[in-house]
């Protein structure tokens, strides 16, 4: 692997704890803005992540930069939609193309599965993530919900057939 490139692939079952650690490190700067329940559901347990790695409704992606695991995305397939359940990039890797490469890979997976949309829920304090999503042509739908004591909002990207 070229040390300057980001590599994204599907996670192996033995990477569940590492994926959990990436989510913890990614969301730690925002922990105080979450309720305890919302934070714990966002970062998931290693056992929950392993279940998602092993089931056919989900894909768990891992992103490596310079041979180090620095990002992840957990996808759920729901008919014509891919729902991004969780996505994180460790602070030290922000701005290095990891989020962009994860989103490109999510879109590739969505197209391979015949999906028409990619959706996710976001939380206002995650301004850098929102900016990355918007650059990748996600738009805010206006749909909001209470999520374990915080307010989230939906973002969507419609996939056009080329």
Q: Mean pLDDT for each 10-residue chunk of the chain (162 residues)?
A: 76 96 96 95 95 96 95 96 96 94 96 96 94 96 95 95 59
User: How many domains are contained in the chain?
Assistant: 1
- 121: helix, coil or strand? strand
- 67: helix, coil or strand? coil
Neighbouring CB atoms inside 10 A of 155's CB total 21
The pLDDT tens digits for 23-49 are 999 999 999 999 999 999 999 999 999
Domain with 58, as residue range(s), is 6-158
The answer to whether the beta carbons of residues 127 and 15 sit under 8 Å apart is no
The predicted structure's pLDDT at residue 148: 93
Let me know if residue 31 belongs to a domain: yes
Which CATH number goes with the domain that contains 140? 3.40.630.30
Look up the pTM and report it: 0.93
Let me know if residue 18 belongs to a domain: yes
CA 123 to chain centre: 13
Counting other chains too, the contacts that 137-145 makes at CB distance below 8 Å and 24 or more residues apart are 145/121
Biggest CA–CA distance in the chain, Å, is 43
Let me know if residue 1 belongs to a domain: no
The predicted structure's pLDDT at residue 75: 97
């Amino acid at each position: 692997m070229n040390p300057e490139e980001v590599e994204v692939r599907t996670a192996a079952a033995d990477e569940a704890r590492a994926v959990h650690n990436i989510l913890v490190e990614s969301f730690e700067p925002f922990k105080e803005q979450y309720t305890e329940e919302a934070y714990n559901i966002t970062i998931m347990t290693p056992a929950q992540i392993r279940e998602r790695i092993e089931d056919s409704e989900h894909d768990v992606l891992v992103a490596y930069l310079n041979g180090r695991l620095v990002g992840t995305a957990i996808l759920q397939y729901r008919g014509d939609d891919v729902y991004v359940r969780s996505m994180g990039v460790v602070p030290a890797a922000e701005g290095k193309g990891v989020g962009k490469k994860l989103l490109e890979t999510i879109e590739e997976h969505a197209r391979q599965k015949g999906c028409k949309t990619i959706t996710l829920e976001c939380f206002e304090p995650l301004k850098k993530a929102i900016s990355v999503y918007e650059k990748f042509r996600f738009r805010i739908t206006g749909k909001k919900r209470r999520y374990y004591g915080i307010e989230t909002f939906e973002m969507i990207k419609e996939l056009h057939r080329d």
